[in-house]
Structure 1
Amino acid sequence: MRNSLFHAGRALRYRNFRLFFMGQGISLVGTWMTRMATGWLVYRLTGSALLLGIVGFAGQIVPFLLQPLAGAWVERMDRRKLLIRTQAAAAIQSFVLAALTLSHIITIWEIIALSALQGLVNAFDAPGRHSFFIQMIEDRNDLGNAIALNSTMVNGARLLGPALAGVTIGLVGEGGCFLIDGISYIAVVASLLMMKIKPVETAHTADNLFRQVREGWNYVRGFSPLRTILLLFSIVSLMGYPYMVLLPVFAGQVFHGGPYALGWLTAASGLGALISALSLAFRKSVVGLTRTIQMSSATLGVALILFGFSRQFALSLLLMGFAGFGMMQSASASNTVIQTLVPEDKRARVISYYAMAYFGSAPIGSLLAGALAQKIGAAGTIIITGTFCFVGSLWFSLQMPKIGTAMRPIYQEMGLLPKQP
């Protein structure tokens, strides 16, 4: 048992990753408080499912548009310096949001504008953060464990953050959540400053930035495992992830609760995602993760379909747990396989397409879900989006033999699979 626990946390033996884990863990609690508080603030001010979708769209469409350029640019930069700047900018955004909300002058237009500003920061933060992992982890064989532990941290915060947000909203309002979030960024900036990172040569290239973007796109498009995994992840992001946008509607209209009901639903999803991340941390190899991607997408789809039909709060909490589990398994397993397959000189550019699949498909899905919920209701919308996720998993299962054949030589070269005689 002790050996199993050590294996599950082996990436924490690296000092830089331990600092990142602690600092980012504190910051992410604030981030999840802000996510829940923003949704509740929009719903309280407007009562509109459509505007919930628009706010989600505004926060994620900017990184969708900028992600390929951002990925190419990040490869030319010092990743740690970049992350310090993006985290500081995110803190300023949270403090402005807190000031406007606590002074009771916030409007929906300011929420939309500040969400778009956060999206701009995320466009550079996401590829920078994910491609920074390789600098914190000295042994590449531990990279998958670091990604799994990062997912555990994200979902631990996702479990704690909404619960704290529900209490904070009840005591001082949404502005208190935004203020705590702004303060929490100090922890991650401090952790980055304390790291001792070996200098790496950045890509000082004379190539045109757009030529680098095209080269990255051609690589992703031409390599079937990356293309197929990213396509399924885009479908799951487009149709599956926007259920979070509609949870305030379920909390208010379906279950006739308030911010506490929303907090429980969000926390249940976070608990499922946390269990998912922990299960991935105990894995000893990336071999077999393509099957995990397929099964997790199906789990998410079925859970959402049943959630749309459910009118029992306890059953809905259970289904939210399964939805969170499937969502996190899909995202983390996809990320791990992609980072294992991609060469270092294309890492940030390929990760930018992974982030694009999330930040791009999710906002369009949020807008679509909000508009559809306005017409047919939140429950019917969730049933439809869950069906798309399930069908996507069936399509992926048909592609698995082909992508397995393409991945096998890479895994054999890395020593993950025995070489054929």
Structure 2
Amino acid sequence: MAKTDPYAALRIKEFNIFLLVRFVLVFGWSMQFIVIEWQVYSITKDPLSLGIIGLMEIIPAFTMALFAGHIVDQKEKRNLLALCIAAFSLISFGLFLLTWDKVVGNWSTTTILYSIYALVFFGGFLRSFFGPTIFSLVALIVPKKIYPNAATWNSSTWQMAGVLGPAFGGFSIGWIGVHWSLCIIFGLVLLSFFILLNIKRKPILNPKIGEPVIQSLKEGVNFVFKTKAILGAMTLDMVAVLFGGAIALLPVFAQDILKVGSEGFGVLRAAPAVGAFLTMLVTAYIPISKNAGLKLLAAIFGFGVCIIVFGLSSIFWVSVMALFFSGMTDGVSMVIRQTILQIKTPDHMRGRVSSVNSMFVGSSNELGAFESGITAKFFGAVTAVVFGGTMTLLTVVATGLVSPSFRKLDLTADLEAHEKAD
């Protein structure tokens, strides 16, 4: 195999534009999420309300996922993403209005809270389209032989936005308040829309345009369950994310346990993304396709350990470091998973496979938030986080024992085949 070029994907102009779009969009999205988390918990002082935010997003995201994948495979990807961003801007503007005294000054707290939940619900509907569309668009911008490198930079950009968005959101709450923080988010979403227009429209590679919906959905699901590498990666990550949902309870830890205020909340929220970002920069130079299965198991095991340490800590900087290392292990997991999906998925099925992935992994973030909220409500935040980390460790051990083929998964041969094909 030829020597790895760590900047291969960055030599493609449209991929750089795509990364800029994703950075601005994720920055705004992640900033919005923690601003709303902070606002909702400030209103209710109930950890269950944080779980309800996750539930309001997962219901539409999960139920619409397969249908969204079918639509993505049938439509042109650039324009579909532009439509999603335009709709997302309406959500951001709505949240901005819901925190404006001139608009909701006479509204009851319950009405405002339910209105926020409604917009989060609409956001979950949109999210079912975002993932498959972005996943499919990347594959139309870069050649197959550099998918792993593109996955590294794509994930790194996502994580960098995840670092700066929450951190800036936490500080902006203290500096300018929730209302004007949401105004900034609305502007960022509009900016990402106009940057996206610099990417050309892409061809539709699906040979079955107009295929019946049920048949299309069945084909996508069957492909995932027959492809053991994809199924194993999705399942493992789903359970880890489901039970490792400490992030959802960060407002509780920041306000009631560590007592560090909105600025400390921003630091805690950004710490995992900092770790993940640094890890993924390293993977651009040191490919992790060899022994990918074993590395994925090790990474998620390390993630579970970090979550347990965070749950038990009552010292701010110990908590920050635990979250930082959880991000490092999660970064390895993310790159491996994205590489498996890109390499093993045919072009005409990317939307549907990505939708199944969002049902497994993406939706489990919100379901994990709900699970954490419920557990914290009845047993306390510390118990909820430690329980989640412990379940993650048990999942990794069980997967390693019952699936020796997954432990031996190696992507080197697949990459060599793509290099020869290109």
Question: 1:11, 1:412 → 2: CA distance?
Answer: 15
Partner of 1:26: 24
Q: Which residues of 2 match residues 90-239 of structure 1 at below 5 A? A: 90-103=88-101, 105=104, 107-137=112-142, 139-239=143-243
What is the identity percentage for the equivalent residue pairs of Structure 1 and Structure 2? 27
How far the C-alpha of 1:117 sits from its partner, in A, is 0.6
How far the C-alpha of 1:398 sits from its partner, in A, is 2.9
Deviations 1:269-310 (A, max 9, x none): 221121122122223463332222111111110001111111
Question: 1:21, 1:274 → 2: CA distance?
Answer: 14
Partner of 1:360: 363
Q: Which residues of 2 match residues 53-68 of structure 1 at below 5 A? A: 53-68=51-66
How far the C-alpha of 1:204 sits from its partner, in A, is 4.6
Question: 1:386, 1:222 → 2: CA distance?
Answer: 30
Matched to 2:8, the amino acid is R
Given that 2:88 and 2:126 are in contact with CA atoms closer than 8 Å, whether structure 1 keeps it comes out as: yes
Matched to 1:128, the amino acid is T
Given that 2:98 and 2:116 are in contact with CA atoms closer than 8 Å, whether structure 1 keeps it comes out as: no
Question: 1:50, 1:271 → 2: CA distance?
Answer: 28
Partner of 2:315: 312
Given that 1:277 and 1:329 are in contact with CA atoms closer than 8 Å, whether structure 2 keeps it comes out as: yes
How far the C-alpha of 1:387 sits from its partner, in A, is 0.8
Partner of 1:340: 343
* Mean Cα deviation higher: 283-292 or 34-43: 283-292
Deviations 1:22-56 (A, max 9, x none): 22212322222112111111110000100100111
Matched to 2:327, the amino acid is G
Provide closer, same or farther for how the CA distance between residues 62 and 173 of structure 1 changes in structure 2, counting only shifts above 3 A: same
Aligned length: 412
How far the C-alpha of 1:88 sits from its partner, in A, is 0.8
Question: 1:175, 1:62 → 2: CA distance?
Answer: 26
Question: 1:213, 1:198 → 2: CA distance?
Answer: 23
Q: 2:393 aligns with which of 378, 385, 390?
A: 390
How far the C-alpha of 1:407 sits from its partner, in A, is 6.4
Provide closer, same or farther for how the CA distance between residues 89 and 313 of structure 1 changes in structure 2, counting only shifts above 3 A: same
Provide closer, same or farther for how the CA distance between residues 268 and 222 of structure 1 changes in structure 2, counting only shifts above 3 A: same
Q: 1:269 aligns with which of 264, 272, 279?
A: 272
Is 1:41–2:39 an aligned residue pair? Answer: yes
For the residue of structure 2 that corresponds to 1:173, the secondary structure is: helix
Partner of 2:50: 52
Deviations 1:318-359 (A, max 9, x none): 001011222232233212112111222222211111111123
Partner of 1:256: 259
Deviations 1:335-389 (A, max 9, x none): 2112111222222211111111123222222111101101111111100000111
Aligned Cα root-mean-square deviation (Å): 2.3
Partner of 2:81: 83
Provide closer, same or farther for how the CA distance between residues 408 and 306 of structure 1 changes in structure 2, counting only shifts above 3 A: closer
Given that 1:61 and 1:363 are in contact with CA atoms closer than 8 Å, whether structure 2 keeps it comes out as: no
Question: 2:203, 2:20 → 1: CA distance?
Answer: 22
Question: 1:400, 1:286 → 2: CA distance?
Answer: 19
Instruction: Output the TM-score relative to the length of structure 2.
Output: 0.91
Question: 2:415, 2:190 → 1: CA distance?
Answer: 43
Question: 2:206, 2:315 → 1: CA distance?
Answer: 54
Given that 1:136 and 1:197 are in contact with CA atoms closer than 8 Å, whether structure 2 keeps it comes out as: no
In structure 1, the gaps of 5 or more residues are: none
How far the C-alpha of 1:199 sits from its partner, in A, is 2.7
How far the C-alpha of 1:316 sits from its partner, in A, is 0.8
Deviations 1:377-410 (A, max 9, x none): 1111100000111112222323553246786796
Partner of 2:332: 329
Given that 2:30 and 2:165 are in contact with CA atoms closer than 8 Å, whether structure 1 keeps it comes out as: yes
Partner of 2:281: 278
Question: 2:76, 2:51 → 1: CA distance?
Answer: 35
Given that 1:294 and 1:397 are in contact with CA atoms closer than 8 Å, whether structure 2 keeps it comes out as: yes
Provide closer, same or farther for how the CA distance between residues 44 and 412 of structure 1 changes in structure 2, counting only shifts above 3 A: closer
Given that 1:76 and 1:203 are in contact with CA atoms closer than 8 Å, whether structure 2 keeps it comes out as: no
How far the C-alpha of 1:213 sits from its partner, in A, is 0.7
Deviations 1:86-123 (A, max 9, x none): 01111111011012113373721111111111111111
Matched to 1:125, the amino acid is F
Q: Which runs of 4+ in 1 moved over 4 A?
A: 404-410
Provide closer, same or farther for how the CA distance between residues 340 and 231 of structure 1 changes in structure 2, counting only shifts above 3 A: same
Question: 1:298, 1:336 → 2: CA distance?
Answer: 20
